[in-house]
């Protein structure tokens, strides 16, 4: 089982962000952490073995180090956390200090995930990020000094007016720092964000400021080329790592293991053999502080839903879906359940297979959305 903890606080809202996060005062932060720990205690289950914990947000590192320690100790007291569990914290450059890093280390955190997005300060500014590239490098080096040996850096492609050259420059600079893991997601312009309004205004004025689709496709190709030249392997559509440093927590999501989410908006998923249930905590901080048990969007999944999700998530991984694991999990062969669809895409080269696995080919990745629709 995996645990996700949502910390919905940020110093200031980025222009593109529609995540459940906002700046809030210290009193709310204090109440929230107390409520969070209560929710974790209420879920107490020593029969569950926890393979990973992910403290995400928001910006978890805006909290005092002692709050993060308290959250992790509460989890360890109420669940059986494996000795080799991956324990990650999301961190925004400019929000960590030596003392906070020491406190993370003491509490067992062994993976830091930096949200950097770009190495160019003009691009960071347009995104509304609170930090510069120099702030990030300083924080990254501090994390190394304190002894963190597993660091991820999140980057973005397809930024406003971003050229292929500038994007490649970011990749080269970041890869030279030699983090263990790099994620590269394409910027999505979400409605109801300041960036969305800005892009629409420019479009109304006849100015298109997004990189062209061909440039974005080129960015995707270049990412693999540059990162593989530094020894990173792409193991998922947007994730690259040095050997042995794939993110265990995300692999858990993509392979359908159970997870529990604590905090506002956090989702949970529990498997009961031939059915599963998914639910979410309330999105409202005031409702959560009143009653930590407020749930929403409860969804019951049939075995067909579970098989469909298993395929869609499994194809995100470069190694694809294991025929043996599929049979062990669902008691039916992959060929019997999805043989017609798989064969169609094998024939036209969008899927490939080996003895045990079926996976998207390079040309299949380009049109993965269409292929995955067939498994819904």
Report the C-alpha gap between 21 and 342 in whole angstroms. 40
Does position 21 bind ligand SF4 by CB under 6 A? yes
Q: Which is nearer to ligand SF4, 196 or 230 (CB)?
A: 196
Cβ contacts of residue 191 below 8 Å, gap of 6+?
A: 18
Residue 127 Cβ, how far from ligand SF4 at the closest point, in Å? 8
Does position 92 bind ligand SF4 by CB under 6 A? yes
The length of the chain in residues reads 376
Report the C-alpha gap between 28 and 281 in whole angstroms. 18
Does position 14 bind ligand SF4 by CB under 6 A? yes
Q: How far is CA 172 from its chain centroid?
A: 22
Of the candidate spans 9-17, 102-110, 182-190, 293-301, the one that interacts with ligand SF4 by CB under 6 A turns out to be: 9-17
Other CB atoms within 10 Å distance of the CB of residue 145: 10
Binding to ligand SF4 in span 125-144, by CB under 6 A: none
Q: Which is nearer to ligand SF4, 59 or 282 (CB)?
A: 59
Q: What are phi and psi of 234, to 5 degrees?
A: -75, 120
- Taking CB under 6 A as the criterion, the residue among 39, 58, 96, 240 binding ligand SF4 is 58
Residue 130 Cβ, how far from ligand SF4 at the closest point, in Å? 7
Does position 59 bind ligand SF4 by CB under 6 A? yes
Q: How far is CA 360 from its chain centroid?
A: 21
Q: What is the DSSP letter of 60?
A: G
Does position 152 bind ligand SF4 by CB under 6 A? no
Binding to ligand SF4 in span 282-311, by CB under 6 A: none
Residue 16 Cβ, how far from ligand SF4 at the closest point, in Å? 7
Q: How far is CA 82 from its chain centroid?
A: 21
Question: How many residues of this chain bind ligand SF4 (CB under 6 A)?
Answer: 11
For residue 118, give the 3-state DSSP assignment.
Answer: coil
Q: For residue 209, what are its two tokens?
A: 């400021």
Does position 96 bind ligand SF4 by CB under 6 A? no
Interface contacts to ligand SF4, rule CB under 6 A: 10, 13-14, 17, 19, 21, 57-59, 92, 115
């Amino acid at each position: 089982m995996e645990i996700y903890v949502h910390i919905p606080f940020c110093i200031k809202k980025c222009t593109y962000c529609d995540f459940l996060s906002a700046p809030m005062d210290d009193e709310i932060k204090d109440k929230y952490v107390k409520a969070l720990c209560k929710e974790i205690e209420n879920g107490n289950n020593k029969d569950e073995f926890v393979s990973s914990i992910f403290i995400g947000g928001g910006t978890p590192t805006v909290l005092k180090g002692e709050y993060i320690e308290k959250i992790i100790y509460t989890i360890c007291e109420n669940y059986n956390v494996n000795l080799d569990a991956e324990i990650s914290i999301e961190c925004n450059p400019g929000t960590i200090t030596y003392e906070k890093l020491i406190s993370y280390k003491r509490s067992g955190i062994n993976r830091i995930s930096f949200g950097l997005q770009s190495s160019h300060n003009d691009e960071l500014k347009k995104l509304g990020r609170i930090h510069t590239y120099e702030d990030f490098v300083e924080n990254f080096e501090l994390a190394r000094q304190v002894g963190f040996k597993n660091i991820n850096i999140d980057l973005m492609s397809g930024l406003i007016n971003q050229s292929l050259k500038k994007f490649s420059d970011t990749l080269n600079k970041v890869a030279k720092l030699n983090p263990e893991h790099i994620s590269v997601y394409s910027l999505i312009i979400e409605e109801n964000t300041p960036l969305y309004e800005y892009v629409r205004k420019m479009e109304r004025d006849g100015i298109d400021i997004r990189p062209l689709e061909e440039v974005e496709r080129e960015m995707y190709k270049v990412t693999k080329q540059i990162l593989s030249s530094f020894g990173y392997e792409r193991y998922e559509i947007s994730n690259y790592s040095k050997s042995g440093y794939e993110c265990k927590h995300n692999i858990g999501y993509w392979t359908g293991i159970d997870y529990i989410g604590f905090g506002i908006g956090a989702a949970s998923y529990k498997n009961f053999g031939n059915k599963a249930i998914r639910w979410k905590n309330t999105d409202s901080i005031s409702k959560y502080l009143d009653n930590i048990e407020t749930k929403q969007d409860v969804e019951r999944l049939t075995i067909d839903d579970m098989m469909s999700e298993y395929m869609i998530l499994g194809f995100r991984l470069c190694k694809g879906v294991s025929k043996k694991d599929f049979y062990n999990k669902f008691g039916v062969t992959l060929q019997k359940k999805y043989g017609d669809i798989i064969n169609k895409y094998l024939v036209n080269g969008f899927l490939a297979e080996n003895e045990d696995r079926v996976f998207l080919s390079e040309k299949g990745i380009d049109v993965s959305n269409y292929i995955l629709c067939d498994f819904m």
